[in-house]
Amino acid sequence: MSNPLNRYHHILHAIAGRPGGLSLADLAAATGLPRSTTHRMATTLREIDYLGQDDASGNFVLGDGLIGLMRSSLAQDSKLALFDPALNFVVGRLEETAFCARLWNDEVDLVQAVTPTRKDQLYIYPGVGGRPLDKCSSSKAILAYLDPARIQALLEPLASSTPGLRVDTLMQELDQVHRQGFAICDGEIDEGVLSVACPVMSGPARGLYSIGVVGPAARLKSHDLQEIVEVLHSAADLAAAELLNS
């Protein structure tokens, strides 16, 4: 590893595979570099925000600057086709419209929707475009996995222009979404329409995408909620694998 760029690559690659980060000693062992060299290069990467240090453990972790670059790459329109297998899986299992949404420029946009091909009944087609941050299941399934400070920054402008919207109440709801792993919108936007969404949890894509299902409330409620959530979690895992392998 005489090339400095190779050394930086090995340092970042070693840390990327460890969500909890690595201590200086462990990082030196993982890369095979001398401890002094490891420290010098890790410090350089910290200066450009490609590495950070965990406050509790002191371990080196991926920095916000590098994660931001990775998220920008994962959010490109060219990545949206990677959701096709997951969306078709949801449609095949639940026989209702499947959708995926993306956080982009501080807004959540529904970017794809796939309806069943059966012609003997009508389906909800949600369209594409911006979704309310405080109501839509696709939005809540994304916001719930952002840093609390980022959530506050996104919600406060909305609260100032939305009578009756309390940020603290919505933060509590998002905390519940985070704990249970899914979000629901039951008639909050359109009466008689139900949607359920789950986050797509793939490394830097955490808090970037959600995947869900929407349909007439009466028909979708004929499914057990746990069944719906299990299908969506499987679809989210499929989408995450496609993103990570792209």
- Per-residue pLDDT tens over the stretch 79-125: 778 899 999 999 999 999 999 998 888 889 898 899 998 877 888 88
Q: Is the pTM of this model over 0.75?
A: no
Same domain, yes or no: 204 and 84: yes
- 32: CATH: 1.10.10.10
- The DSSP code sequence of 34-46 is -HHHHHHHHHHHH
Which residue's structure tokens are 């299990």?
230
Same domain, yes or no: 41 and 85: no
- pLDDT of 142 over the 80 cut: yes
Same domain, yes or no: 34 and 154: no
User: Of 44, 61, 78, which marks where a domain is finished?
Assistant: 61
Same domain, yes or no: 224 and 188: yes
Gap between the Cα atoms of 60 and 41, Å rounded: 12
Gap between the Cα atoms of 153 and 237, Å rounded: 29
Gap between the Cα atoms of 117 and 16, Å rounded: 41
Count of domains in the chain? 2
Same domain, yes or no: 20 and 90: no
Higher pLDDT, 180 or 163: 180
Q: What residues contact 184, with CB distance under 8 A and at least 6 apart?
A: 137, 194, 195, 196
Instruction: Note down the domain range covering 222.
Output: 69-243
